[in-house]
């Protein structure tokens, strides 16, 4: 691994690495930048092995995250890079505006696509796409879960870069808290229980079934998602909607309760590692897609899970 003092490339992803763990959407940001990335933080070399699309990487062991200090230190290094892409993760959203300010560039936040001189930005809760063009170099943040990526068929070329902290007052990190599954962004949720229209068939109404599913999800450390039918009916808020007109997710586990599997919904599932379908229709598209299909009444199963997993339930 060689040491370099500058970075020369047309596009570059900048990723904040914490103890060798890349941020959410880091692989997609690298793919959008053509495979080139600056990895900054702790354990950068280890993180490089967990980023399949990485072709060319610069590693900066910068210590604990300090967005203001990092932005000032990295600005000279990145001055000649026209397009800089950060994942719109928590750290990425902290660092991007500071880096744009240090470089005196526009920030194109919430992009779903980054071009050579433009970015397509998601607005109005991702219901509207706006293309912003600029003749100048820029910094953009890429929304996780919207792009996907193809692994690089080779060994990435890695270099180290000098990092000299510039003395200045900065935000102090007191504690890093794990997200609450009940309120966490679905794009970041590792486990999701999906509510479909089939949950309304039984003794409980639709809102009651979805509320009970929330109790089961809380007991399992999972988040609740929903189909468009469920959100349109008002049983769940629209930010819980999974699909091409909702949130794109990529969880480790997705369990669909009473979900038929319409293309609009499955188009937002990304590539879950494991899919379980609970449906009375063994031939439904969701069951066909699933790794495991349980042919049973979805509402009855939710009630039984609530009885077994939660205390004091009247289900």
Across 82-99, average pLDDT: 94
User: Would you say the C-alpha torsion 240, 246, 247, 249 has a positive or negative sign?
Assistant: positive
Least reliable range by pLDDT among 35-39, 147-151, 167-171, 298-302: 167-171
Phi, psi of 245 (to 5 degrees): -105, 15
* Domain locations along the chain: 2-161, 186-309
Q: For residue 168, name the pLDDT band (cuts at 50, 70, 90).
A: low
Q: For residue 315, name the pLDDT band (cuts at 50, 70, 90).
A: very low
Of 139, 41, 136, nearest in space to 97 by CA: 139
Least reliable range by pLDDT among 12-21, 158-167, 227-236, 297-306: 158-167
Which position has the higher pLDDT, 1 or 169?
169
**Long-range contacts made by residues 168-171, C-beta under 8 angstroms, separation at least 24?**
168/68, 168/69, 168/72, 169/68, 170/66, 170/67, 170/68, 170/69, 171/66, 171/67, 171/68, 171/94
Q: Which residues contact 106 (CB under 8 A, 6 or more apart)?
A: 100, 134, 136, 138, 139
Least reliable range by pLDDT among 109-113, 124-128, 179-183, 310-314: 310-314
pLDDT at 8: 80
Domains 2-161 and 186-309 in one fold: yes
Q: For residue 1, name the pLDDT band (cuts at 50, 70, 90).
A: low
pLDDT at 3: 55
In the predicted model, what is the mean pLDDT of the chain?
Answer: 89
Is the domain covering 186-309 a CATH 3.40.50.1220 domain?
yes
Percent of residues, the chain, with pLDDT higher than 90: 67
| pLDDT tens, residue by residue, 46-63 | 999 999 999 999 999 998
Across 109-114, average pLDDT: 92
| pLDDT tens, residue by residue, 242-297 | 998 888 888 899 999 999 999 999 988 888 899 999 999 999 999 999 999 999 99
Using the predicted structure, report yes or no on whether residue 209 has a pLDDT greater than 90: yes
Element (H or E) spanning 280, and its range? Answer: none
| pLDDT tens, residue by residue, 23-32 | 988 999 999 9
* Cα 14 versus chain centre, distance: 16
Using the predicted structure, report yes or no on whether residue 77 has a pLDDT greater than 60: yes
| pLDDT tens, residue by residue, 118-163 | 899 988 766 678 899 999 999 999 988 777 788 999 999 999 988 7
Say which CATH class 2-161 falls into. alpha beta
pTM of the complete model: 0.68
For residues 48 and 17, what is the distance between their CA atoms, to the nearest angstrom? 10
């Amino acid at each position: 691994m060689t040491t370099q003092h500058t970075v020369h490339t047309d596009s570059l992803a900048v990723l904040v690495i914490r103890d060798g763990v890349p941020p959410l959407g880091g692989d997609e940001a690298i793919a959008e930048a053509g495979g080139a990335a600056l990895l900054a933080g702790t354990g950068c070399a280890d993180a490089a092995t967990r980023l399949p699309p990485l072709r060319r990487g610069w590693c900066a062991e910068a210590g604990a995250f300090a967005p203001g200090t990092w932005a000032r230190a990295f600005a000279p290094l990145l001055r000649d890079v026209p397009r800089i892409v950060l994942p719109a993760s928590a750290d990425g959203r902290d660092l991007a505006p500071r880096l744009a300010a240090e470089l005196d560039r526009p920030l194109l936040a919430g992009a779903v696509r980054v071009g050579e001189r433009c970015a397509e930005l998601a607005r109005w809760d991702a219901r509207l796409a706006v293309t912003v063009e600029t003749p100048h170099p820029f910094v953009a943040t890429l929304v996780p879960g919207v792009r996907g990526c193809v692994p690089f068929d080779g060994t990435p070329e890695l270099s180290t870069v000098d990092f000299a902290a510039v003395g200045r007052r900065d935000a102090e990190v007191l504690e890093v808290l794990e997200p609450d599954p009940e309120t966490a962004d679905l794009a970041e949720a590792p486990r999701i229980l999906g509510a479909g229209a089939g949950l309304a068939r039984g003794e409980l109404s639709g809102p009651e079934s979805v509320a009970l599913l929330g109790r089961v999800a809380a007991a399992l450390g999972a988040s609740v998602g929903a189909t468009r039918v469920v959100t349109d009916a008002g049983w769940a808020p629209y930010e819980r909607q999974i699909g091409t007109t909702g949130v794109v997710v990529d969880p480790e586990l997705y369990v669909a309760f009473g979900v038929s599997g319409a293309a609009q919904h499955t188009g937002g599932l990304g590539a879950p590692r494991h899919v379980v379908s609970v449906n009375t229709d063994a031939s439904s598209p969701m069951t066909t897609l699933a790794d495991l299909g349980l042919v049973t009444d979805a509402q009855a199963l939710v009630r039984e899970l609530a009885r077994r997993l939660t205390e004091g339930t009247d289900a």
